[in-house]
DNA sequence: TTGCTCCTCACGTCACGTGAGGTGGC
DNA sequence: TTGCTCCTCACGTCACGTGAGGTGGC
């Protein structure tokens, strides 16, 4: 006969776990010797290996208890389900490994691929780090707020950036971050932006949505010049709207 | 700005988890709106995705807390360790799938391969189910008790079984399970077993060990005839020992 | 005698889950 | 007004871990 630690060691569980399985009724309490010590036979080894095999597979103890005295048919059906869950778990872990690899490097983890590409495009064009970060933060907020809209918006943004005029305006906007609040160039910049602001009119491509406000309010955090730029742009949109 | 459920949904965690991370100091408490509701920005999304990526990889929250404000070097070193742990976990799960497959079928899960082969050998020779089960139980107990000895013992058993005389004796032993306690054939069987019993003398191959007693005591559970057979064998060994 | 194993409570741990009771926005 | 979200306690859960205090075998 085996002592509790011989049993536990041989099967690869702790003594405490064996006692726990007794308490939960998963493993039959064996006979005791003269000292009150539990003494185990071969059947206990078999039962405990069964329990360990199932718990290792992630099966909760309550389910293990059911399965231990289930019909062979139901048992093998359950085993098939457990196996499928294990296979799924393996796929999940593989995904987690890939996510983990992205943790150190860049924003791949936080944004859809096309947005990451767009941000890389900005860097190539010489856009400053703070502006890129502002864009990144805006796209994160937009993704959380209206994920379904992001593909359309980013497609337009990328099309815009192919236009040399838009590129020039974007780089000016980037520079404006550090301009003085009352720099006269701010007004001129808004004038030049007119064709793009029209999109935000009712019926336009980026019709004045909660998302637009989301972006504008956030942009204000970066500098007074940008805050003023947002105010001027809002005024311009109101003018265009009144005229239309 | 995002509400707590917008944040949680977008990242794929529960609202309760977000609150838990605040409590544990993993995620900075954001500002509140007029109603006392938490309002989150882009940085919270980034931070929460970091936390989720690490916890999904099985990192305990205490460790996550350390890593979130660790130097990039220490961080990427830790990530490498976590990735290695994930890879190991995947290997473990694959092993568990194989174990699970053995749960329904036979004794592959409970015994080393060579013992399983030996038991299959017995079945081919026409040995009865109860005797095979007794052997199985004995080998389970021996494996738990003296795993290092099992390969040697099983090798000898398999060599024995190649001997036609031993085969005949083994089949007689199998039959004896159902004999009457005072069947005269029991004595004759023990006489014929003499050459094999000699191994259990001091200095013999199976010198009278705790393991031998383990097996004998267990065998008694199956039938009175076997119990008597064990007693007769013990007497014979004592005789042989006295003569030696 | 000392060290090791065994025993039975019973509280602790980890990462949240789950009401309980109440308030604010549409 | 109703339903949904939000808030803060605070106890519950799952599978054991970890002493606490005591006994038995070598």
Nearest Cα neighbor of A204 from A156, A136, A161 is A156
Task: Please give the DSSP secondary-structure letter assigned to residue A200.
Answer: G
- pLDDT value of residue B127: 95
CA A152 to chain centre: 21
Res. B244 pLDDT band, cuts 50 70 90: low
Report whether pLDDT(B208) > 90. Answer: no
- Number of Cβ within a 10 Å radius of residue A121: 14
Question: Which own/partner pairs from A196-204 qualify as long-range (CB within 8 Å, at least 24 positions apart)?
Answer: A196/A160, A196/A166, A196/A169, A197/A233, A197/A236, A197/A237, A197/A240, A198/A240, A200/A237, A201/A237, A201/A240, A201/A241, A201/A244, A202/A241
The closest CB to that of A45, out of B90, B144, B218, belongs to B144
Residue with tokens 């989720």: B52
**Which protein residue lies nearest to nucleotide D17, measured between its Cα and the C1' atom?**
A16
Nucleotides of strand D under 7 angstroms from a protein beta carbon: 5-8, 14-18, 24-25
Q: How confident is the model at residue B203 (pLDDT cuts 50, 70, 90)?
A: low
Radius of gyration of chain B (CA): 32
Between CA A179 and CA A138 the distance in angstroms is: 21
pLDDT of residue A206: 55
B53 contact A CB<8A: yes
Q: pTM (2 decimals)?
A: 0.87
Residues A132-170 pLDDT 10s: 999 999 999 999 988 888 999 899 999 999 999 999 999
- Is residue A133 classed as helix, strand or coil in its secondary structure? helix
CA distance A189 to A233: 10
Please name the helix (run of DSSP H) or strand (run of DSSP E) that holds residue A60, with its range, or none: none
Q: For tokens 């060691």, what's the residue?
A: A9
In sequence order, which ranges of B24-163 are alpha helices (DSSP H)? 42-56, 61-68, 72-104, 113-124, 129-145, 150-160
Q: Is B93 on the interface with A (CB under 8 A)?
A: yes
A197-236 residues labelled b (16+ CB within 10 A) or e (exposed):
bbebbeeeebeeeebbebbbebbeeebebbbbbbebbbeb
Residue of B nearest to A54 (CA): B100
Given A45, A46, A141, which is nearest B42 (Cβ)? A141
- What is the rounded average pLDDT of the residues B225-229? 90
Residue A207, pLDDT score:
47
Q: pLDDT band for A209, please (50, 70, 90 cuts).
A: low
Do A68 and A26 touch, CB atoms closer than 8 A?
A: yes
C-alpha span between B163 and B167 (Å, rounded): 6
pLDDT of residue A104 exceeding 70: yes
Distance in Å, residue A244 CA to nucleotide D15 C1': 68
Nucleotides of strand C lying closer than 7 angstroms to a protein CB = 5-8, 14-18, 24-25
Look at residue B40 and give its three-state secondary structure: strand
Question: Considering only residues 129 to 158 of chain A, which have any Cβ-Cβ distance to chain B shorter than 8 Å?
Answer: 136-138, 140-141, 143-145, 147
Q: How far is CA A144 from the centre of its chain?
A: 10
Position B155 pLDDT exceeds 90: yes
- Inter-chain touch A6–B147, beta carbons under 8 Å: no
Q: Which pLDDT band, with edges at 50, 70 and 90, does B241 fall under?
A: confident
Mean pLDDT of A102-126: 92
CA A87 to chain CA centroid, nearest Å: 22
The whole-number Å distance from A60's CA to D14's C1' is 9
How large is the average pLDDT for residues B72-98?
94
Range A47-60 average pLDDT: 96
Q: Centre a 10 Å sphere on the Cβ of residue A14 and count the other Cβ atoms it contains.
A: 11
- Look at residue B177 and tell me whether its pLDDT is greater than 60: yes
Per-residue model confidence (pLDDT) at position A125: 94
Looking at the partner chain, which of B90, B141, B217 has a beta carbon nearest the beta carbon of A90? B90
Query: Is a pLDDT exceeding 80 seen at residue B105?
Result: no
pLDDT in the model for residue B211: 66
Say if CB B1 and CB A140 are below 8 A apart: no
| 3 state SS of B232 | helix
Percent of chain B with pLDDT strictly greater than 70: 94
Residue of A103, A105, A110, A211 to mutate for B, most B C-beta atoms under 10 A:
A103
Question: Which of A93, A110, A218 is closest, CB to CB, to B89?
Answer: A93
- Give CA–CA dist A8/A14, Å, rounded: 6
The answer to whether A117 touches B142, Cβ cutoff 8 Å, is no
DSSP state of A198: G
Residues B200 and B210: beta-carbon distance below 8 Å = no
CA of A174 to C1' of D20 (A): 68
pLDDT class of B239 with cuts at 50, 70, 90 = confident
Instruction: Count other C-beta atoms under 10 Å from residue B151's C-beta.
Output: 11
Cβ contact A97–B79 (<8 Å): no
Q: How far apart are CA A190 and CA A244, in angstroms?
A: 18
- Asked whether the predicted pLDDT for residue A208 surpasses 50, the reply is no
- Banded pLDDT at B240 (limits 50, 70, 90): confident
Phi-psi label, residue B40: left if phi above 0, alpha if psi -120 to 50, beta otherwise: beta
């Amino acid at each position: 006969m085996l002592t509790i630690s011989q049993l536990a060691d041989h099967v690869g569980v702790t003594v405490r776990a064996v006692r726990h399985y007794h308490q939960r009724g998963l493993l039959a309490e064996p006979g005791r010797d003269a000292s009150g010590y539990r003494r185990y036979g071969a059947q206990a080894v078999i039962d405990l290996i069964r329990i360990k095999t199932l718990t290792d597979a992630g099966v909760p103890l309550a389910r293990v208890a059911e399965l231990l005295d289930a019909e062979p048919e139901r048992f093998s059906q359950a085993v098939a389900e457990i196996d499928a869950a294990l296979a799924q778990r393996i796929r999940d872990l593989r995904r987690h490994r890939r996510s983990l690899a992205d943790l150190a490097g860049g924003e791949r983890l936080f944004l859809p691929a096309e947005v990451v590409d767009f941000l890389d495009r900005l860097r190539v064009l010489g856009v400053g780090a703070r502006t890129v970060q502002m864009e990144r933060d805006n796209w994160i907020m937009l993704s959380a707020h209206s994920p379904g809209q992001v593909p359309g918006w980013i497609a337009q943004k990328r099309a815009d950036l192919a236009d040399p005029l838009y590129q020039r305006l974007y780089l000016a906007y980037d520079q404006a971050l550090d301009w003085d609040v009352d720099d006269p160039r701010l007004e001129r910049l808004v004038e030049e932006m007119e064709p793009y602001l029209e999109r935000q009119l009712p019926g336009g491509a980026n019709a004045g949505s909660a998302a637009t406000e989301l972006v504008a309010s956030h942009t204000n955090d970066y500098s007074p010049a940008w805050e003023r730029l947002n105010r001027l742009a809002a005024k311009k949109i109101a003018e265009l709207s009144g005229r239309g």
